[in-house]
Amino acid sequence: MEVKIGVQHAPREIVLESGQSVEEVESAVADALSGKAQLLTLADDKGRKVLVPADRLAYVEIGEPTVRKVGFGAL
């Protein structure tokens, strides 16, 4: 799934493809925002981890990946 993270005072958002479930991502975000965790920690499909300080989170958008179409259209 695609996860977009907005960070305060950063001009660009962080976009990653994660193999985690929606519930896992929501739980991690909720823990970070409630103060249970100091960092929002997510893993992407390539095994890398993304760490964002909880107090710098602007927004988190969780969605399905967009499928890129190849070609110019149906004939």
User: In the predicted model, is pLDDT for residue 70 greater than 80?
Assistant: no
The residue segments making up the domain with residue 10 are 2-63
Query: Which pair of structure tokens corresponds to residue 21?
Result: 């479930």
Residue 75 lies in a domain: no
Domain count, the chain: 1
CATH code assigned at 41: 2.30.30
Residue 71 lies in a domain: no
The answer to whether 37 and 6 are in contact (CB under 8 A) is no
Say how far apart CA 36 and CA 59 lie, in whole Å. 18
Residue 59 lies in a domain: yes
pLDDT in tens, 28-43: 999 999 999 999 999 9
The answer to whether 54 and 38 are in contact (CB under 8 A) is yes
Residue 68 lies in a domain: no
Say how far apart CA 52 and CA 56 lie, in whole Å. 7
pLDDT in tens, 6-61: 999 999 999 999 888 889 999 999 999 999 999 999 999 888 999 999 999 999 99
